[in-house]
Structure 1
Amino acid sequence: MSDKPKVIIHEDLCKACGLCIIHCPKDILEASDKINELGYPTTVVAKEGCIGCANCYLICPEPGAITVIKP
């Protein structure tokens, strides 16, 4: 198990609202050009540095689209 927090974006559930990107205090999330099964460009984890605050998880309107793992 990792000793650092980690965020997982379940890309096939993402609806590209961008709220997680806006509310990430470490700016580790960004929009991608990849289109998911729903036809939306997905959000991706673009860099390391997650602090496990879960802002992305809490603000996401799509249940199950984001998982935050805290060690």
Structure 2
Amino acid sequence: MGKIVINVEYCKGCELCTTACAFKLIKPGKVFNKSGYYVMEFNDPKGACTGCALCAEMCPDVAIAVWK
């Protein structure tokens, strides 16, 4: 089981990470950061994340940390 942490201050809400996640565990959030961007949210209640890191590789702002 993997886990990701999204640094909300770096996230610009581009949604590239959402397309990379095969399990659709990352979705646009309802809160925004200090820069005014709505940030992504990671929700994995069933532990489906494998820690593959594709979401982090897609992130142009290096806002995602992956833990295995």
Alignment deviations for residues 24-48 of structure 1 (CA, whole Å, 9 cap, x no partner): 0111110011011111000011224
Residue 13, structure 1, aligned to residue 10, structure 2: yes
Other-structure match for 2:55? 56
Q: Which residue of the partner structure matches residue 46 of structure 1?
A: 43
Return the TM-score normalized by structure 1. 0.86
Any gaps of 5 or more consecutive residues in structure 2?
none
User: Please, what is the CA RMSD of the aligned residues?
Assistant: 1.0
1:25 lines up with 2:22 in the alignment: yes
TM-score, length of structure 2 as denominator length: 0.89
Runs of 4+ in 1 over 3 A off after TM superposition: none
1:55 CA displacement: 0.6
Q: How many residues align?
A: 66
